[in-house]
Amino acid sequence: MIVIIMGVAGSGKTTIGKMLAKYLQWEFCDADDFHSRSNIQKMQRGIPLNDGDRLPWLQNIQAAIKKWLEENRNVVLACSALKASYRQYLFVGDERIKLVYLQGSFELIQKRLHQRQNHFLPEKLLPSQFDTLEEPQEDAIWVDISASPELIVSNLAQSLAAS
Q: Taking the model in full, what pTM does it have?
A: 0.87
CATH superfamily of 2-162: P-loop containing nucleotide triphosphate hydrolases (3.40.50.300)
> What is the full per-residue pLDDT of the chain (163 aa) written as tens digits?
999 999 998 899 999 999 999 999 999 999 989 988 888 888 778 787 788 988 999 999 999 999 999 999 999 999 999 999 999 989 888 899 999 999 999 898 888 777 765 555 556 677 788 888 999 987 899 999 999 999 999 999 999 988 7
Residue 81: which residues within 8 A CB-CB, separation 6 or more?
4, 6, 31, 87, 90, 99
Secondary structure E strands in 79-157: 97-103, 141-144
Domains of the chain, by residue range, sit at 2-162
- Confirm if 42 and 136 have CB atoms less than 8 A apart: no
Query: Which amino acid type is present at position 158?
Result: Q
